[in-house]
A and B are shown apart, each in its own frame.
Chain A
Amino acid sequence: MESAILRSVNYNAYFGDNHVCKDVNISIPKNEVVAVMGPSGCGKTTFLRGINRMHELIPNATAKGQIFLNDEDVMEMHPIFVRLKIGMVFQRPNPFPNLSIYDNVIAGYKLNGIKLPKAERDRIVEHSLTRVALWKEVKDSLNKKGSFLSGGQQQRLCIARAVAMEPEVLLFDEPTSALDPISTSTVEELFHELKKNYTLIIVTHNMQQAARVSDRTAFFYMGELVEFDDTKQMFTNPRDVRTQNYITGRFS
């Protein structure tokens, strides 16, 4: 695959003795939307959290192998650098409840103690909120607390927060599972816009969503990466029988 931005080599992750990701080898091209799907407990979220070293925050969790971001091994880097380059959006919207909408967007700068001129901050806030199609809705209430927004708006605020850091890759951990259908479709529309500037990796348990939004799809089963292919290809003509079973709903 040409110009892979993210590449994992024999990545293994554990919770204590529990082996949750087994020798994952994947190569993710730049500026694409990659969906990661699989039944619950298949290791897809663990893999996602391994990419920006969030996995190791859980007590007892360990990982082995390599993950290259532009040929730099994130497993060798300090997690702080990794997370500055790889943004993440979580299952439930989690804006900082003590910060205003404005401060939530630039939280990555503000809370890391990075001082920016006011004009620069304003620009980042407007730019990031515009990117997530939230600017028009909140531009008059930037000083309100982020927790007053609706669920879908909160999730877009969290995406804006990640976007504001200008990362290279954005990770999404089931970003719409806590949202209503209308908010879900707004967020899904965003993915098409965001992939112009970023590489998106989206974990989802929802096959339809994977089919709708992604260019490529990875299928995880029992901790293994079973198949990784063009989304259309995978949904029409899967190579592995386990993928086929999953897509056709034949898993018990």
Chain B
Amino acid sequence: MKDIHIKFRIGKSIFFQAFAILLSVSCVIPLVAILLYILDAGFKTIRTNGFQFLTNLPKPVGEAGGGIANALLGSIIIITVASVVAIPFGILCGIYLSENRKSRWAYWSRLCVDILQGVPSIVIGIVAYFWLVKPFGGFSAFSGSMALAIMMLPIVIRSTEETLKLLPDSLREAAYALGMPFHRVILKVIVPCGISGILSGVMLSVARIAGETAPLLFTAFGNPYVSMRLDKPMQSMPLLIFNYATSPYNDWHDLAWGASLVLLVWVLLLNILTKIIARRWKVQF
């Protein structure tokens, strides 16, 4: 009787272990399904439109050979501008937080970074609209960049702070003892030693905003033509995918699949690159 009871418990244990494995492996299924589907649909688009679809402009419905050049270029411009603002600002803020671990202001600053990290992207879009679109009289690529910059900040800040916090104090002391001023200790010793962590945070933040759509809806707005002007509406990859995917035309759906494939490859490459950087550039102690 007792023997059976133990066997039952062991069986139950094995059952739950198998069940957990089953659950965790099945998480992968939707991701794989999405990847495969987009690979398939995306390559179909590339096959019918050729690789020119990367360099062509969108055509009116019914005309063959449309492309996504405006969105690709727009995304690159918007992300570059966002990065130029957010990366230095975020790294400096991360340094501030790691250098002032116990100060009360730093506590509030850190809390605000935490809050910012949880703010839904659509809310950032609203705020950017009131700060940078309405006062200047129209949608603009610049306002979109700033909305994305705000989304990047918490990721860059937290990864910088976490990385620098882990550096040993002895490093700082060695630098100070050589008569280095504070800013040189930070910029020439602390930051170079934490560069892998900081860079992977930066890459991650770029990957995150590359796919962000919601903050761009009321800021960069979208544009069917190639535009290089930061003060005018600009197209971006996720906006194009959203607009075309929700349109009723099959041609446009095809373009959206092609664009999805490009965006997906872009984002996944950034993510993989992040992992490689984190491992390769790590400074050994």
Contacts and interface: CB of A to CB of B under 8 A. Distances in A.
CB atoms of A and B under 8 A apart anywhere in the complex? yes
A187 interface: no
A57 B189 contact: no
Given A94-B174, A158-B174, A108 B179 contact: yes
Contacts of A96: 171, 174-175, 189, 193
A54 B176 contact: yes
Contact of A80 (B170, B173, B179): B179
| Interface-centre pick from A57, A79, A111 (highest chain B CB count, 10 A) | A111
A55 to B, nearest CB: 11
A227 to B, nearest CB: 28
Interface residues of A, number: 30
Contact of A52 (B177, B181, B193, B285): B177
A97 to B, nearest CB: 5
A94 B176 contact: no
A94 B178 contact: no
Interface of A: 52, 54, 57, 59, 79-84, 87-88, 90, 92, 94-98, 107-108, 111-113, 145, 147, 158, 161-162, 165
Contacts of A82: 179
B24 interface: no
A8 to B, nearest CB: 19
A145 B182 CA distance: 24
B284 A165 contact: no
A97 B190 CA distance: 11
B192 A98 contact: yes
Contacts of A112: 178-181, 184
Interface residues of B, number: 23
A152 to B, nearest CB: 17
Interface of B: 102, 168, 170-181, 184, 188-189, 192-193, 195, 283-285
Q: Is the interface of B mostly helix, strand, loop or mixed?
A: helix
Nearest to B177: A88
A92 B178 contact: no
Contact of A54 (B168, B171, B173, B193): B173
A87 B177 CA distance: 6
A165 B174 CA distance: 13
B178 A161 contact: yes
Contact of A90 (B173, B179, B192, B193): B173
Contact of A147 (B102, B176, B189, B285): B285
A96 B171 CA distance: 7
Contacts of A79: 176
A94 B284 CA distance: 12
The 3 closest A-B pairs by CB, nearest first: A84-B179, A83-B179, A88-B177
A88 B180 CA distance: 13
Nearest to B282: A97
Nearest to A93: B170
B178 A111 contact: yes
Given A111-B189, A113-B184, A97 B177 contact: no
A92 B172 CA distance: 13
B183 to A, nearest CB: 11
B178 A107 contact: yes
Residue of B172, B176, B192, B193 ringed by the most chain A CB atoms within 10 A:
B176
A161 B173 CA distance: 13
A108 to B, nearest CB: 4
Given A98-B283, A158-B174, 9 more contacts: A57-B172, A82-B179, A84-B178, A94-B168, A94-B173, A97-B285, A107-B178, A145-B284, A161-B178
B61 to A, nearest CB: 56
Contacts of A108: 178-180
Contacts of B283: 97-98
Contacts of B177: 52, 54, 83, 87-88, 90, 162
B173 A57 contact: yes
Contact of B184 (A54, A87, A95, A111): A111
B179 A81 contact: yes
Contacts of A59: 102
Contacts of A90: 170, 173-174, 177
A94 B193 contact: no
Nearest to A59: B102
A59 B283 CA distance: 27
Contacts of B195: 98
A90 B173 CA distance: 9
Contacts of B192: 98
A158 B171 CA distance: 12
Contacts of B168: 94
A12 B175 CA distance: 25
A165 B179 contact: yes
Contacts of A165: 178-179
A97 B285 CA distance: 6
A57 B176 CA distance: 9
A122 to B, nearest CB: 19
Nearest to B185: A111
Nearest to A147: B284
